[in-house]
Structure 1
Amino acid sequence: MNKKSVLIIEDDTITAFTITEQLKALKYNVINVFPTAEAALDYFQNEYYSDKFPDIILMDIHLAGKLSGIEAAKEISKKIDTIIIFLTNATDTKILESAIETHPYGYLIKPVNCEQLKVAILIALNQKRLENKLQEKQKALEKEIKAHRKTSNALTESERRFRQVVEQQTDMICRFNTDGIITFVNPSFCNTFEKKPVDIIGQSITIRASQESKTNIDHYLNAFSFLHPESTTEHKIISENGNIRWYQWHDQAIFDLNGKITEFQSIGRDISDRKNAEHLMCVQRDLAIILSSTIDLNEALDRMLNAIFRLGSYDAGGIYFVQQETGGIELIYHKGLSDDFVSEVKFFKKNERQVKIIQTGNPIYVHVQKDSPLPERYKNEGLKSLAVIPILYENKVIASLNLGSHTHSVVPESQIQTIEAIASQIGGVINRTFSNMALKESRENFQMLFDTIEDFIIITQPEGQIIDINPAVLKSLKYTQNDMAQMNYYDILPKNMHDIIRKKFQEAKSGKTLTIRTELIASKGNTIPVETKITKGRWNGADAIYHILRNFTEQLKSEKAIIAAKEAAESANAAKNEFISNMSHEFRTPMQAILHCSKSGIKNIDSLSKEKIYDYFKHIKDAGNRLMPLLNDLLDLSRLESGKHIYRFKTMSIEPVIDIAISELQQMFQNKNIQPIVQMKNDQLKACFDQDKIVQVLQNLLSNAINFSSKKNNVYIHVENLPENEDKPDIKISVIDQGIGIPKDELEVIFDKFVQSSLTRSSSGGIAMGLSICKRIIHDHGGLIWAENNNPKGSVFQFILRGSRKQIKKHTTGG
């Protein structure tokens, strides 16, 4: 068997490649792939390829270029007789209707899988084969007609007489061949379908039947044989306007001389009234049985819509509830409608047209295509007819049944009556189920609140016996459910509260709601402070007392935290005041010296000796030298805290930096006869830092160590690697003195701005910013700084420097 050839016209490269591979896997020969319709038409105009035209063309509807796939299909169909299957990802009705005009052999929705492609091609090939076969039969039939034309003339008169009898019949009569094609109809048949014979003959016998009936008819006709030549059946037929009619048919097979069926003759009569009456009675009966037992609202509404859809005219619909608070309507259940359409009609306000229609209480039925005032959304949804049927309960509109049909423009009167009867049935069900659902929801919400609320809920009898408790009580008091069931409310109260609570119980019985603070005794004897609201209520049909208790342990903690915060604020305020006082003193004294010397020098300029003038200038210089560090500290701290300082990080050895700091403080060391001792395991200890700033940190720490150490003591500078990062390890630097030390509760706060140790406050002078500056610099280096007391005396100030820029970034930004 030769491979069937396929031509692909698809502008999406990936789709074209995928389909090509699928076709190869299915053993088809792909002869070419074109991205545009123009390229494909050029191919068919080339006579060189006339013997290579494809058996099948897979055509994308939306193509790049001027021509669409539909236009290309029309042009190609003029040139060759081949199979065209459209590829599309569109479901737009207008596009599909336009495509149908080209008589394609099928559609494939992208993306296409191999199985879909296989089935579509097989169906198309089979359809093509049947068409070819039919053409052959038609040619044979034409030949046979010519051969028998002479004999047919002899039968003309007999047939004319027969037709007179047939045409006067009130029953429908038709004939159709074994392929189901109608060959003859009588006037009654034409009147039923409101068509002329020329419009019916040549049509399929199933053209007006429902899909279910089509399948049944095919199966039914296949059962005819020489031994079973006739039968009677019933099925539906859909008329031109969409109405469904039921007919009873008596069918008889007609055989040739060899006993082969050549044709069927069918006589039908309308039995719609009987069938509709039977069907409507069954629908109403079944729905009434279902609605009488269901308590689920969605189930009831689903059953109602299904019952209406079974009638055959409507295939989409929804139920709106009237909101009693706002007067608007909300769609609470729907079937057969698109998501986009539902989103547009989900809710209507009180003053909108849809609500006003419902509030009249009268049903309306609309032909969508003729009713121009309707919004476009109804036409876009493809609806041909609409129905709005208010649902009443005790003469009040509580809901609305809205229906739509995608197939029927007109609904039979018998169905309308049944639908309105169904709508009247659902009113009571909606009211009952909605009430049940509201009650159930209320109970569930209360139970959820009861189970999940963190407050304690204890329900007791009026005498105090515990009836029920929520899980929060068990969790906090550590009792079991069985323990609590045997207890009285007074068992978990301190004895000094019993009389007070009894009085509150009596007041609560009169309907008052009371609030009192007390404590609850837990299973281990500890107490929990609670604020209790006591009120009267009902529980399981009996009088009860409700106790709503809130644990205010956290509130007490908050109150303590507020007090602590107040004390901290007061402490900070005191530190600020002390700083202002110190700063005023530190600035005032040298400024007074400068002003005094300047004033005296100016006043006595003519009588002063050179020695005296030198003395005045020396005092001014000394005072300026005292002011400069203070000003530098203030500026440094301001610049560091603003984040404007630019650090110059560089990986280097720490040893020369320590040497610089010691060298610049050498005079201070000598004045107190203190020896600086550097302890390093090797001279290659490196870190990444700004040299000037780390010199500043070391000088601050060393000057403090000198100031608060006795004469002839040692100050140690200890440096070591930290093992956590072996590649570029961090280093820890410790400055150890043998001075007066730091009180334990001040080890952390001494790094705060303007805070001095209580042991040094009276003797150190200054404005207490040095350690705060050190903390800021080390923080900006991604490091840590802290203080400890040295054993047996003195203090240890330690800080960590990071081994690399990466580590600095990690510890300063979290990255």
Structure 2
Amino acid sequence: MTRHLQQDSLYNYQIIEFSIAKEALNWCLEKTPEIILLDFASVNENASIFLEKLRSRLSNSQFTVILLIKPGDEDLAVRAMKSGAQDYLIKNQITPEILQRVIRHGMEKMYLMQQLAQTKAALQQSEHRYATLAEVVPVAIFRLDADGNCIYVNDRWSQITGEPIQAALGRGCLDTIHPEDSDRLFHQWTEVLTQEKMYCYEGKFLRKDGTTIWFYMQILPETDQNVTTIGYVGTLTDISEQQAALDDGLRPTIGDLIEAEAKLRKISERLTLAISSGRFGIWEFDCVQEKVIWDERMYELYGVHPEDFPGNFDAWLSFVHPDDQDYLLVTIQQVLHQNQEYDAEFQIIQPSGEIRVIKAYGVLNCDEQGKPILMVGINIDITERKQAEQELIHNRDLREVIFNESADALFLVDPVTLLTLDCNRRTVELFEATNKGELLGIEGRTLQRRPFTSNEIDTIVTQMQTKGFWSQEIEYVTLKGKLFWGNIAAKPITIAGRTLNLVRVTDINERKQAEEKLLRTNEQLAKANAELARATRLKDEFLANMSHELRTPLNAILGMSEGFIEGVFGAINQKQAKAIATIKRSGKHLLELINDILDLSKIESGKLELQISDVSVRSICDGSLTFIQQMALKKNICLSTHIGSNLDTIQVDDRRLRQVLINLLSNAVKFTPEGGNVKLTVWLEEVGTNETLGAEKLISQSSIPSPHICFRVTDTGIGIASEDISKLFQPFTQLDSSLNRNYTGTGLGLALVKRITTLHGGTILVNSEVGQGSCFTVRIPYLSGDNSLKKLQDPERVDLPATLIPKTLTIPVILLAEDNQANIDTISSYLESRGYEMVLAENGQQALDFAREKCPDLIIMDIQMPGMNGLEAIRQIRNEQKFIDIPIIALTALAMPSDRTTCLAAGANEYLTKPIKLKQLVLTIQQLLKNHQELHTSKYRKSD
């Protein structure tokens, strides 16, 4: 799974793995993860209990838990999800696509939870702000419950009445009412309880010091969603000075006080709205699996228990009223196919039979190909609001209630002149007018940043006549020059027998700003992805170019060395042979470094795929030991091996596992002094055993339990300090400068070991002490071969001798197309010494011309040449009928994964990378010529 996640193109993950659940739990106390992949098998206790521990210890953090279960444990997973897990994966069904999608979904849900937490925090801050305001306003504020008991007063109450706050709670707030006013106040309070409207009262307080205070009081009922009175909020203003002025014949009006009270009431209403607006449910719809996920509030809205809701699309649709199902299906299809925002209003039928009205909003997320993958949104129960609207429409004056009290800006417009005849209070606020008169008698389009043209108005009128309404999002300018976005909707209505246009403008500025921010974020993400793709492409181009530039001269170096050793250029003495062997050995070392760099790049970019096959354990071990045997003999190091008797064949990538063992064995010999010991031990680790752990350092691991085959390399070398073990597997890294001077190498070997082991789903363990030697253990999931190998191949293939062409046979003509003179000399000299006739071309065009002129038996084509390159030359040669089956060998210094496919697709029969082994080249030539001869013989017999 680690490999699957590392291939994710959207996220870069930092993956921390634990095999023991308790260790993971302790780690979470120090660092909070964003995603937790929890294997059921790693939890010794009940998974639900473990999740409760996890939630309690990380109660202040947001994270997502995804369960890993084996087939048949789905019921356990569902119960665990009720304890806090978000999703589960079945182990034998995990693919890179499924794993990446579930992880991304978990990340998105976690981010949504974080945003909700931030919203709640902002709401708490707002509530605190309004509470602070209540303490600093110059009037007394009080709240009563539904029975008239005082539950809150601010400090100003104590200042006015001279009583402490605690004395006012309960019924104590009435104790200071002057005896002359008490009967009248109680009588009027009874009317307040029955009429449920604002109550205003002017009276006197009798303070304990005997002084009288005149006050002006206003009380407003507070209601819940069901329009049921839940309490009262009121203000009390000291008007003693005004009363004294009245006594002197100078009493002013109390309009200013009323206006102040109106402002305070408005603040209270906003606070109530902010609190009540949080009553919504959050849902998610997985468009791929058609899974529906609800939060707790959603279950409350639909009147259903979590265990009674299957969590799929059809189950949700069954709640929708039959009258609204078709409309909703059409709406959702439009959202999925046109990537629109989801905005719907519909009825549901709860299990109890009660019908509720739901307002739904949602947004759609798509993958890189535009395919819908996830919808996220909210449901709001607007039943009471809809009922109230219907009641108001039928029982109250439309203009006074719907028009004037609307939360949106409303205009009444003459459909002929387009002049504004009336507007509500929200219009005055939204467009920053001093009063309503500034907006009357004007055309509404003058408030638009780009006013509608006459043609556009004609289109709007036509749509209103045909559809009954019209709506659009446009940008407005207030009377003070402020820009904001509004959603405008218009429809014709009839008032007192006269047809007018009712125009609604909703402030959507915050939503538009959020959309613009999201758009900028997406643009930045796209730019970052493009830069990443560009960097990856440049890296690949650099590696391809580096490979070509280094392999081209190496081809001549190794080829000439091989030719000298085989006596192609004449006899050489022992001293010369030793020098030539040194050149060849150094060249091969440089080639190995190039191959290591390319292998590491392929693994890190996810382009290296394992070639899994049945491999003999004994063969792969013996072959690896043979490779380093000569190096060990030079240092008088004793090599030994022990392979478990129960091991025969395993399923691995033969070449890559050899690469791992050879690297580990080579390092063991390199860092072991003369006369030391190096041992290779192989055994099978069954499930439940823990042989390999001990005090060793775990470098990487898989959390899924399974049998493992273990390869352990131990030595009596210089050892490694414990603090340096973590540095071992970093590319191009050696432990200190002294090692760089005393031991050769680039630091790539162990990096490749770790990555190849990880690709196999395995782990690497290290145990070492300075001066006591080192122990490296590779653990790979054990997959026994289906069939024992009938014949074990030797680890080092012994090439058959490249034979000479008998003089009695026709000498084959080979066309060599190559632009590097050193390579021309090397290859042509060697092939001529083997009896072939050579035709030489320096570019693709010459190769094409010489092929037509000489009709060679075989063509060796270099790919990168000036002018016409080798690929184009191969294509043109294949286009001619007489060359349709001529053998062609593509010869190139390019060694990237796709180069072989490209060459073969162009028409080449074989593909060899520089530097080539000349023996291998001759064997390839012989095989191709043999196949070509057999093909023509077969055609000849058929024609007879």
**TM-score relative to the length of structure 2:** 0.25
> Which of 1 and 2 has higher RCO (CA within 8 Å, sep 6+)?
2
